[in-house]
Structures are given as C-alpha cells and as structure tokens.
C-alpha cells in the first residue's frame, strides 16, 4: 500500500474508457516546445554570459526530467475504477473514493460568466459524496480524450455510473 494509505494505480484499477490520441499529441508538442526552449536558452546563455557547457547540459537534463514527469502525469490523468472505489487521478494529486462514500455519479454542464457573457464550458462528470460534497473529475466532453470522438464521453460516463450502480445495489439473497 502507498504511504498515503491508498493502493497505487495497478492492474486492480482500470480506466473505463480508452486513452485519447490527443494526449500523445500534447506530450509530443510539449517535447518539441521544450527542445526549442532548451536549445534557445543554451544559445542565449552562451552569447550573454560565460557559462560552463556542463551547466547548460545540467539545465537541459533538469528540463527533460520535468517534461518526463509531466508527460507521465498527463498520460495517467483520468478516473479509474477498482473493487474498492474510484480513483481520480489529477495532474498534481490523486484521490481515492470508496464506494461507500459515493452517493451519485452525474453529468453537469456548468455555465461561467465571463465579461458579462454566459459561456458553457461543456459537460463534465461530477461525483457526489454522501456528505453533500461534489468532487470534480478531469473528464470533460470537450477534453482531449473526447473532443474528437463523438459518443466517447457519454460512454465513459455510463461506464462509471454502471460501476457505481453495480457496487451500490443491495445484495440479493
């Protein structure tokens, strides 16, 4: 068990929807941007100040490590289903919700006011807890996993809702 008290994402956790190819595009795009940033930074440092080449390579290695960590988190981002409950894997942190804590799985279509205009941000999956708290998820209909795949968002929502209903249904004797 992990130090946080929650099991790590392993074979016992599964994502009830396929990973969108858009995430891989984002990761490759960020790699390209990082390479360009690193190359330009090294050239600028060499022109402006007398920096030892090892310092530039150390900076490049640090940025590459940061990119690798961020890319790994982007690929793992999502909602996972397990025997114990739901795991909401965010970009920075994750949270495990036991099935006994969950009251409902719903779709919400929030509207934001921006500069006096009402703007729909698209549908998102929310998890309602028995305490009344609503927990957001990284699942958005206009998100990178679903925007180019019609019906995939609704399929993911139905899969999560079905998993919840299967675990919350009273046992028959």
Q: Is the pTM of this model over 0.85?
A: no
**Is residue 83 domain-shared with residue 160, that is, in the same domain?**
yes
Answer yes or no: is 1 within a domain.
no
Q: Identify the domain containing residue 114 by its residue range.
A: 78-167
In this structure, is residue 2 part of a structural domain?
Answer: no
Q: Compute the distance between CA of residue 8 and CA of residue 171 in angstroms, rounded to an integer.
A: 28
Where a domain ends, among 10, 42, 75? Answer: 75
Would 146 be classed as within a structural domain? yes
79-109 per-position pLDDT tens digit: 999 988 999 999 889 999 999 999 999 999 8
pLDDT in tens, 28-69: 898 888 888 878 877 777 777 777 777 777 877 888 888 889
Residue 83 sits in the same domain as residue 161: yes
Residue-by-residue DSSP string for 48-99? HS---HHHHHHHHHHHHHHHHHHHHHHHH-EEEE-SSEEEEE-SS-EEEEEG
Residues 5-26 as b or e (16 or more Cβ within 10 Å = b): eeeebeeebebbbeebeebeee
Q: Which residue has the tokens 């795991």?
A: 87
**Pair of tokens at residue 75:** 């690929």
Evaluate whether residue 9 is within a structural domain. no
Domain count, the chain: 2
């Amino acid at each position: 068990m992990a130090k946080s008290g929650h099991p790590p994402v392993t074979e016992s956790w599964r994502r009830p929807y396929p990973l969108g190819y858009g995430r891989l595009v984002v990761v490759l795009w960020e790699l390209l941007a990082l390479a360009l940033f690193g190359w330009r930074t090294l050239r600028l440092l060499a022109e402006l100040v007398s920096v030892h080449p090892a310092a530039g390579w150390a900076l490049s290695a640090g940025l590459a490590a940061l990119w690798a960590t961020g890319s790994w988190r982007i690929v793992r981002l999502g909602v996972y289903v397990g025997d114990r409950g739901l795991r909401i894997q965010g970009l920075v942190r994750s949270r495990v919700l036991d099935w006994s804590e969950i009251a409902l799985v719903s779709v919400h279509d929030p509207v934001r006011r921006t500069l006096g205009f009402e703007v729909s941000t698209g549908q998102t999956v929310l998890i309602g807890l028995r305490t009344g708290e609503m927990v957001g998820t990284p699942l958005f209909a206009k998100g990178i996993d679903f925007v180019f795949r019609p019906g995939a968002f609704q399929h993911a929502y139905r899969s999560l809702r079905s998993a919840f209903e299967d675990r919350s249904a009273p046992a028959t004797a």
